[in-house]
Structure 1
C-alpha cells in the first residue's frame, strides 16, 4: 500500500477568466500608471489566448521599466503568435528576462523560453545550450526537460535522453515529463519491455464506475444534470492554444461560480482516487517514489462534437491523471472501431512507427459514468467520434500540493 496522500480541491472562483480579464482591463484603463494592474492584465490576456493584445499592451512601455515576470509574459506572447519576427523577438526578450531573474527557477524559466524560440528559429546548438543551462539552474524545470528530450529525439539520440534523465533522477527529480521521456527513449532503443515497465499503465491504471452522488436515484440522472450544468457553463469556450485538444469545446475551471453538480463529482473523484492509491502495492517504481504527500485536484471539461479529438499528450503538471465520462454517444459505447475512444501508447512522430507499433497501444471504450485513472506520464489520445451527439468528459490531475 502506498503512503496516504491528502487530496484538496482546487479553489473555485466566482467569475470566469474572461470576466476577470474584462474587469481588470477596465480597472487598468482607469489607472494606466499601475504596474500591478498591467501585469495582472497581461497574465489574464494570455490565459484567454489574446496574445496580440498582450503585445499591444506593452507597445508604449519602456522595456527597461519591466520586471522579470512581465518581460517573460511578453516573450511568451510573441512566441505564441508563431510569426518568425515575433519568435526572434521572443528569444531576445527571454534573454532580457534571464538578466533580470534573481533566482534559479526564474533563470531556468527564461532559458527554457529562449531555448524554445531558438529551436523554432533553427538554431539547434544554441537551443540545446539554453535548455541544458536551464536545467543547471533548476533541475525541476519541466519545460526545459521536455524540450531538451524532444530535441534529442529529433536528432535520433535516445541514449542522450536516458543520460540526461538519469542525471536529473540522481538529483531527486521525478515528474511526468522525465518519466515520459524515459519511456520513449527506451522504446526507440528497442528495449520494449523496459519501456512498458517504465510507463506502468498496465500496473497502475484504474477503470470503474462512479458511485451515485447524494440526492440522485441513479448515475444516469446525475449525469444528465451534470451535462446540463456543463453545457450552460459561463466558462465554456472553443479550443485553447497550447492544449492537446483539436476542434473541441472546453471549460478550463468547471468549479467556477455556482456549480453544484461539478462539486459533487469532484468529491466523488477524490474518494475514488484515495481508494485506488490505497490499493496500490508499494514498490520501487519511480512513479510511486514521486508520489506527493499532498495533492490538489485540478479539473477541466472537454466537449467534442463529431470532428473533435485529442492528440498524443501527457499531463505535464500532474502526478496522477484521469477522466470521468459524463455523456457518450451511443455509437461509441456499442461501436467496434476506435471512434470516440481513448488510446494509451506512445506517439509515432517522436519514436518512429516501428517503436510505437512494438510498444503497442490499448484502446479503451468509454461509457457514461466511468472513471479512469492513470499516471500523468502515460501518453494518450482520442479519436473523432463522428456522431451528432456531444461527447462530454471531465478530465483531472492530481497536482503536487
Structure 2
C-alpha cells in the first residue's frame, strides 16, 4: 500500500530544506515497506539528483515511471537528469513526451527547443521556442534563444529584430549582448559587432565570449596592435611535462578513462567528432581522478604565479579579472581514427587547458595537433587567422585563456588519442573539491 501523505511530509520538508542525506535516510525504510509506491521513488530520485548522484536518481525516476507512466513531474526531472548527464537525445525524448502530455508546458517546450538548438535542428528549435513564447510572451531568455535559432536558420533580419527586443528587456545581459554581436557579425556588420563586444567588456570585464568576439572583429578590421595583445601566444600559452616526482600513472589514467561509464560518442552540442567525451569527472578526495586533480591544482597555482610575473607591468584585458577564488571542472576526450574537434572556446571558464594522457600512434607530424586562432568555419570571415599549432606529448599540460579559439586536426592512428580537458571556473568564495 502507498505510504500515507502525512508520513511523507518529513521527507518533503527535508528536501525543501536542502537536507538530502536526511531525506534519503527517511525514504529508504519507506521504500522497503512500500516498494511499489511511485511517489517514494520520485522523492528519492529528487534527493539523489540534488546530491549530484545522477545515476541513482535516474534509476529511481525510471522506477517511478514504470509504476506511474507519463507522470509529468517525473518525466520533467528525468529529462533534466539526462540533460545534466549529457544524454541529450534521451532528455529531448522526455521533453517531447511531456509536451504531448501537457501542450502548455512552457518549461518542456523551452528545454526541447534549446536541445534542438544545440543539435543545430534550427527549424524545430524555432517551432518549439515560438510555441513557448506564445505561452510566456516577452520572456527575454526565450526571445534570445529564438533569435539564435533564427540566425541558425539564416533568417538574420528576424534574429536582429528579436535581439533588439531582448536588449530592451535586459540591456546589460552579457549573453544577450554577445549573441546580438554574433548575429551582426554573421550579417557582415563587423564594426557594429565590435561595438557590442566592447560594450559587453565595459559592463562585464573579462567576459570570455566578448574577448573571443573582439579578436574576430579586430582580425577582420586589421587592428594589429589589438590582435597582438589578445593573441600573445608566447606569454598566454604555457606547456609543462608532468615529472616523475608527481607520480602520475598514465596507464592507470588511460584505463580509467576508457572504462568510464559516461563516455558519450559525439555528444550533442559539443565539438568532438569521431570520438567520445565524458561528463564532468569527480576529482574530489578518494575519487578515481583525485590524484590527477591534486596535481592539476598545483599546476594551475604555479601558472597563476607565472602570469603575475609575466604581466607585472602591463594591463591585459584577460588578466583584469584574474579570479581570487576558483574551482576546476575536468572531462575526458577520446579521439578515434579520423577524430577531431571543431573550433570552439570555453565561455564558462577563465583559464582552460588539456592534459595529454596518450597522444596515440599518430601517423603524420600534424595528426591530432592542437591549433589555436581559428573561429568557427560557418562565420563569414575573410582575414587570415592568427594561428598557433601545438603538437602534444604524453604527460603534458597546456593552458590557455578560455577565449582562445582552438580545434584539433584530424587524428590518424589506430590507438585512441586520450586527453583530459579542464576549465578554471571563477567563484565568489573558496571552493573545496
Residue 277 of structure 1 corresponds to 304
Residue 373 of structure 2 corresponds to 345
Question: Following superposition of structure 1 onto structure 2, how do residues 123-134 of structure 1 map, counting pairs within 5 Å?
Answer: 123-134=155-166
Residue 236 of structure 1 corresponds to 263
- Structure 1 residues 78 and 369 mapped into 2: Cα distance closer, same or farther (>3 Å)? closer
Deviations 1:46-83, CA, capped at 9 Å, x for gaps: 3302254134321333344x3x6444213224445655
Question: Following superposition of structure 1 onto structure 2, how do residues 187-198 of structure 1 map, counting pairs within 5 Å?
Answer: 187-198=219-230
Deviation at 1:254, TM superposition (A): 2.5
Deviation at 1:162, TM superposition (A): 1.2
Residues 245 and 308 of structure 1 are in contact (CA less than 8 Å); yes or no, is this contact kept in structure 2? yes
Larger relative contact order (Cα-Cα within 8 Å, sequence gap ≥ 6): 1
Partner Cα separation in structure 2 for residue 237 and residue 19 of structure 1: 19
Deviations 1:273-332, CA, capped at 9 Å, x for gaps: 111112213442121112233222011100011210001111121111000000112446
Residues 347 and 379 of structure 1 are in contact (CA less than 8 Å); yes or no, is this contact kept in structure 2? yes
Partner Cα separation in structure 1 for residue 177 and residue 350 of structure 2: 16
What's the TM-score once normalised by structure 2's chain length? 0.76
Match of 1:57 among 89, 92, 97: 97
Partner Cα separation in structure 1 for residue 425 and residue 145 of structure 2: 22
SS at match of 1:265: helix
More displaced stretch, 45-54 vs 151-160 = 45-54
Residues 225 and 261 of structure 1 are in contact (CA less than 8 Å); yes or no, is this contact kept in structure 2? no
Residue 317 of structure 1 corresponds to 348
Match of 2:400 among 371, 374, 381: 374
SS at match of 1:174: coil
Partner Cα separation in structure 2 for residue 212 and residue 360 of structure 1: 35
Residues 247 and 304 of structure 1 are in contact (CA less than 8 Å); yes or no, is this contact kept in structure 2? yes
SS at match of 1:346: coil
Larger Rg: 2
Residue 90 of structure 1 corresponds to 128
Partner Cα separation in structure 2 for residue 129 and residue 140 of structure 1: 17
SS at match of 1:58: helix
Partner Cα separation in structure 2 for residue 331 and residue 73 of structure 1: 40
Deviation at 1:45, TM superposition (A): 3.3
Partner Cα separation in structure 1 for residue 63 and residue 284 of structure 2: 21
- Structure 1 residues 164 and 233 mapped into 2: Cα distance closer, same or farther (>3 Å)? same
Residue 9 of structure 1 corresponds to none
- Structure 1 residues 151 and 394 mapped into 2: Cα distance closer, same or farther (>3 Å)? same
Residue 46 of structure 2 corresponds to none
- Structure 1 residues 43 and 227 mapped into 2: Cα distance closer, same or farther (>3 Å)? same
2:261 is the alignment partner of 1:223: no
Question: Following superposition of structure 1 onto structure 2, how do residues 205-224 of structure 1 map, counting pairs within 5 Å?
Answer: 205-212=237-244, 216=247, 219=248, 222-224=249-251
Deviations 1:181-202, CA, capped at 9 Å, x for gaps: 0000000111233223123433
Gaps of 5+ in 1: 1-11, 101-106
SS at match of 1:60: helix
Residue 253 of structure 1 corresponds to 280
Partner Cα separation in structure 1 for residue 160 and residue 292 of structure 2: 43
Residue 147 of structure 2 corresponds to 115
What's the TM-score once normalised by structure 1's chain length? 0.82
Residue 40 of structure 2 corresponds to none
Deviation at 1:164, TM superposition (A): 0.8
Residue 72 of structure 1 corresponds to 110
Deviation at 1:234, TM superposition (A): 1.5
2:87 is the alignment partner of 1:48: yes
More displaced stretch, 295-304 vs 189-198 = 189-198
Partner Cα separation in structure 1 for residue 221 and residue 136 of structure 2: 36
Deviations 1:213-256, CA, capped at 9 Å, x for gaps: 76x4xx5xx00111011111111221101111111112112328
SS at match of 2:195: helix
Deviation at 1:207, TM superposition (A): 0.5
How many residues of Structure 1 are paired with residues of Structure 2 in the alignment?
Answer: 371
- Structure 1 residues 146 and 310 mapped into 2: Cα distance closer, same or farther (>3 Å)? farther
Partner Cα separation in structure 1 for residue 419 and residue 343 of structure 2: 17
Deviations 1:13-64, CA, capped at 9 Å, x for gaps: 9988566434423324435686543332122233302254134321333344
Partner Cα separation in structure 2 for residue 128 and residue 173 of structure 1: 24
Residue 6 of structure 1 corresponds to none
2:338 is the alignment partner of 1:307: yes
SS at match of 2:377: helix
Match of 1:390 among 391, 403, 416: 416
Residues 310 and 382 of structure 1 are in contact (CA less than 8 Å); yes or no, is this contact kept in structure 2? yes
